[in-house]
Structure formats: structure tokens, C-alpha cells
Amino acid sequence: MIEKILANLEKSNCMSDDTFLQAVSEVLHSLEPIVNSDTRYEQFAILERLVTPDRVIQFKVQWVDDHNCVHINNGYRIQFNNSLGPYKGGLRFHPSVTTGVLKFLAFEQIFKNSLTGLPIGGAKGGSDFDPKGKSDFEIMKFCRAYMRELHQYIGARVDVPAGDIGVGNREIGYLFGEYKRITRNYDGVLSGKPYAFGGSLMRPQATGYGVVYFAREMLKEELQESLDGKVCTVSGAGNVAIHTIEKLQQLGAIVVTCSDSEGAIYDPHGIDLALLRHLKDEGKRISLAEYKNSHAHALYTQKSDYPKEAHAVWEIPCFAAFPCATQNELTLNDAQKLIENGCVAVVEGANMPTFPDAIELLQREGVLFSPGKASNAGGVAVSEFEMSQNASMEKWDFDKVDRKLDELMRQIYKRVALTAKEYGCERNFVDGANIAAFKRVAEAMILEGV
Ligand code: GLU
């Protein structure tokens, strides 16, 4: 049955939807032990309905740059499944954005959001707009033009977008401003807002901190190990990477790498986070090559000097690895290197950064592997906390959000590990996550009828 669904999906989706097909194939194969356990899944065509988005919205975004030149970009919102709650998921502004990429991200988001145990459905959106090199005013003008179209499809109880790659506090602020001007509604229609007007404390830190809380729990339960004093490698230099590094350092780990789209830094003394922030935080896009100017002992490797299937970050010996850049960045070759160097855990901070064959090898060799939909769910969870605060007109303090996040990440780990055990695939956190998430969504879909 699974092969038939995949073949049909391949026929009805074009080749540029490769990442979507990759994500669906991983999930459906994970579900093998469960699809025949309940006759209602077939009766209600749950799998076929689950892999078909409710709505794929595409629109034109036209805006004027600082030199009065007119630009046109594609804008998207994919509302995939709202069985558990309002559509929820980030917006990505990056030239690589296509319908296929967003369909994969929205599909993953259904499972991630289900794993949090919170009432949120799955969606994703964005644009092929490239924020690189744009002035603050250009970013604002683009965000306003994007919202002029998007506002008609979203709402605090309908669909609540947030940030993702290329969309942070600043962009959410501009998007919210325009939404309010058009609709006159002051409500929690977007999460990840600046704290000054309805944002939650800790939302910027949430994904990265959550990744580390998940890793800490997994290492404690599975290996009776801690992160204190351990060498860790992190890829990426965006919001998720920066806060993963920050929390790892707070727990005593020595983080020795980070990377951007052009190259990677290896600093055996430990990444200087203040410098990394100076180079990358708040939309600054200074090349990591600059890191060496003040840290001559560090090693900078240009990405173009490397073959396509190898990445400098994953060649560095480490106790645990945290891919926090983007999809499909950790290859079979990289996995082999990590294993040779004695890595015990790979914890995904990005969405689907590890290729399927690399995951298989890591699992076969006994490396603990956590899929992003489990370990990076802290971001969307704190987004839901923000929705909760907005709905009740409350403001929670930092410690309250942090405590709730820590507890929620431990719950996700438990849910995933127990489910894997229950279905005979102990320590396979990919299958555990997919099965646990599926059961919750499928039950809601059945109870809500066709
Ligand atoms: N973009 C983030 C993710 O991949 C956050 C989504 C949200 O907060 O809605 O989960």
C-alpha cells in the first residue's frame, strides 16, 4: 500500500518536489509497523489524505527597491493539515524556496507540531525573495507587499505564521504592522513578534535551547552521559545554530565549529559566540572568513574547496554533532567520518539536514540519531506559548517559558523513545517520532470525519 501511495504521489508531483517526496517516503516507511494495526486507517484513507496538502497558495509579490526599480517575487503559503489546531509553521525568505521545498517543510511540520502535544496543525510559507544585501527599508517594503496578499489567508484561529530562514523578529514586526493596518485586528496572528508588542520572551532562543534540552535528556537516558566537557560540532550560523551553541556552552560543552553557505570555522579553543553574533546576528551577513582576523589559530575552510559530498564541519572529531544549517547537508560520506571519529549522537537542529542513507548508516552503527521534527520542535512550541499569552493578554517571564520548554522537550523525547520501544524499533527515534506523531493526527482526522 505504501509503495502505491508513493508511486501515485510521484506521478502527481513534479521532479522539483524531490525533497517533499524524500520526506513523505521516510515517514510512510516508518509507519509500516502501524498501518495495518487499525482498519480505520484504510477505511478513512488516512495516508492518502495525510500526504495531500489542504491548500497550496501561491501569489505575486511586487515591490519597489531603494532605487525605484520594481521587483516581482513568488509568495507562498502551504496549509497542509489542520486536524489538531490552526495551521502553524514558519515563513522562509530564501532564493531556494519553491513549492516543493515548502511542501516538504509543511508536511514535516504536521508531525513536529503533533509531537509537541499542543493544539497546532501544520503549514509553511515564504518566498524566493533574497534578503541578502537588501537595506532595512527594502526588507520592510518587501514584507509589506508580501502581507498585502497573505493577510486574506491567515488569522489567529486560522493560520499563524512565524519565522524561519531569512525571517526573524524584524521581518515579523513589519509583517505584523501591515496585517494590523489592513485588517485593524490586533491579535496573535503571527508568532515570533518582537517582545515590545506581544512577542514571547525566549522565542528567539527556543529552537536552539530546545535542541540541547532534547540532547541532554537523550544522552542521560540512553548512555548515562552528560554534555559537560564534551567536544561538540555545530553547523550553521543562523538563529538556531547560535542558540544551540549558547546552550551547549552554558552546559559546559566545548563547541568547536560553525558554518555558513560559503565556508566553515574550526576553532579548537571553542567558538567565540560574541564574535559569531557580531558577524551574523540580527540579519548581518558578514562572511565567517572574518572570524580568522581576530582568531588566527582558527581554521577557515572555503566550501568551494570541498567535494559536494563532504563538509568540513563533519570531519572534526566530536562527541555529539548538531546539524543546524538547512536541509540535506549531512551526507553518507559525512556520516562515515563522524562514525570513524567516535561520535555518539547526531541531533538535528535544522529540518531534515541528514540524507536518508546517512541516517541509516548512523543508526546501523549505533549512533543515537534524533530527527529535527523531534529535537527542533522547541521553536514552534514556544510559538504556541506566544499564541496562548496573546489569547489571554498575559506575559510570562523568561523562567516560566524556559521551564515549560525544558519540560516539553523531555516529554517529546520520552514519547518518541517509548513509542519506538512499543513498536519493536527501540532507539530508532525516526520511527518513534513518525509513529507517535501520526497516531495523534490520524485519530483527529478519523474523529473529524471526511
Ligand atoms: N520555522 C520554525 C520551525 O521550523 C518555527 C515555526 C513556528 O514557530 O511556527 O519549526
pLDDT tens string 53-110: 999 999 999 999 999 999 999 999 999 999 999 999 999 999 999 999 999 999 999 9
The domain spans of the chain are 2-187, 209-375
Pocket-testing residue among 79, 102, 108, 109, ligand 1, by greatest number of atoms within 8 A of Cβ: 109
Residue 16 has pLDDT above 70, yes or no: no
- Predicted local confidence at residue 146, as pLDDT: 98
Ligand 1 atom closest to Cα of residue 161: 9
As a whole number, mean pLDDT of residues 41-58 equals: 97
As a whole number, mean pLDDT of residues 170-199 equals: 96
- Predicted local confidence at residue 203, as pLDDT: 96
Domains 2-187 and 209-375 share a fold: yes
Distance of CA 269 from the midpoint of ligand 1 (Å) = 32
Asked whether 401 lines ligand 1 (CB < 6 A), one says no
> Any idea which residues carry the catalytic annotation?
124
Residue 177 has pLDDT above 90, yes or no: yes
* Nearest residue (CA) to ligand 1, atom 9: 89
Q: Which three cell numbers stand for residue 23?
A: 520526506
Distance of CA 66 from the midpoint of ligand 1 (Å) = 30
As a whole number, mean pLDDT of residues 396-401 equals: 97
Architecture of domain 209-375: 3-Layer(aba) Sandwich (3.40)
Task: Tell me the per-residue pLDDT of 290-308, one tens digit each, with 9 for 90 and over.
Answer: 999 999 999 999 988 888 7
- Predicted local confidence at residue 388, as pLDDT: 97
Residue 284 has pLDDT above 80, yes or no: no
Residue 337 has pLDDT above 70, yes or no: yes
How high does pLDDT run on average in the chain?
95
**Which numeric CATH code is attached to 2-187?**
3.40.50.10860
Asked whether 193 lines ligand 1 (CB < 6 A), one says no
Ligand 1 atom closest to Cα of residue 109: 10
As a whole number, mean pLDDT of residues 1-25 equals: 82
Distance of CA 42 from the midpoint of ligand 1 (Å) = 31
- Predicted local confidence at residue 395, as pLDDT: 95
Asked whether 230 lines ligand 1 (CB < 6 A), one says no
Asked whether 88 lines ligand 1 (CB < 6 A), one says yes
Pocket-testing residue among 160, 380, 401, ligand 1, by greatest number of atoms within 8 A of Cβ: 380
Using a pLDDT cut of 90, give the percent of the chain over it.
92
Asked whether 102 lines ligand 1 (CB < 6 A), one says no
Pocket-testing residue among 189, 193, 205, 383, ligand 1, by greatest number of atoms within 8 A of Cβ: 383
Distance of CA 132 from the midpoint of ligand 1 (Å) = 21
As a whole number, mean pLDDT of residues 188-200 equals: 96
As a whole number, mean pLDDT of residues 18-24 equals: 92
Distance of CA 164 from the midpoint of ligand 1 (Å) = 6
As a whole number, mean pLDDT of residues 164-170 equals: 95
Distance of CA 105 from the midpoint of ligand 1 (Å) = 10
Ligand 1 atom closest to Cα of residue 91: 1
Sheet arrangement for strand 122-127: 55-64, 70-81, 122-127, 87-93, 159-162
Confidence of residue 8 (pLDDT cuts 50, 70, 90): confident
Residue 14 has pLDDT above 70, yes or no: no
Asked whether 387 lines ligand 1 (CB < 6 A), one says no
Residue 2 has pLDDT above 90, yes or no: no
